[in-house]
Amino acid sequence: MEKVTQQDIEQAISKASREVFETMLNLPLEVKPAGMRKVIEPETFHGVLALVGVAGSWTGTGHMSCTPQFAQRLAGALLMTEYDSVNEDVLDAVAEVANMIIGNVKTILEEKLGSLGLTVPTVIFGRNYQTRSAGVKDWVLVRLHSGDDRMDINFCLMPSRVLAHMTPRSEILTA
Q: Is 9 a binder of another protein (CB under 8 A)?
A: no
Give the binding range for another protein (CB under 8 A) out of 62-70, 112-120, 145-153, 161-169: 112-120
Q: What string of DSSP letters covers 59-113?
A: EEEEEEEE-HHHHHHHHHHHHT---SS--HHHHHHHHHHHHHHHHHHHHHHHHHH
Nearer to another protein, 33 or 103 (CB): 103
Q: Of 100, 113, 141, 142, which lies in the binding site for another protein, with binding defined by CB under 8 A? A: 100
Q: Is 138 a binder of another protein (CB under 8 A)?
A: no
Burial 98-114 (b: 16+ CB within 10 A, else e): bbbbbbbbbebbeeebe
- Cα-based angle 56, 61, 63 (whole degrees, multiple of 5): 150
Q: Is 148 a binder of another protein (CB under 8 A)?
A: no
Give min distance, CB of 75 to another protein, in A.
Answer: 8
The interface with another protein within residues 56-85 (CB under 8 A) comprises: 75, 78-80
Nearer to another protein, 49 or 123 (CB): 123
Give min distance, CB of 112 to another protein, in A.
Answer: 13
27 phi, psi to nearest 5 deg:
-115, 150
Task: Give the C-alpha separation, 39 to 108, whole Å.
Answer: 25
Q: Which residues here bind another protein, judged by CB under 8 A?
A: 19-20, 23-24, 75, 78-80, 88-89, 92-93, 95-96, 99-100, 103-104, 106-107, 110, 115-116, 118, 120
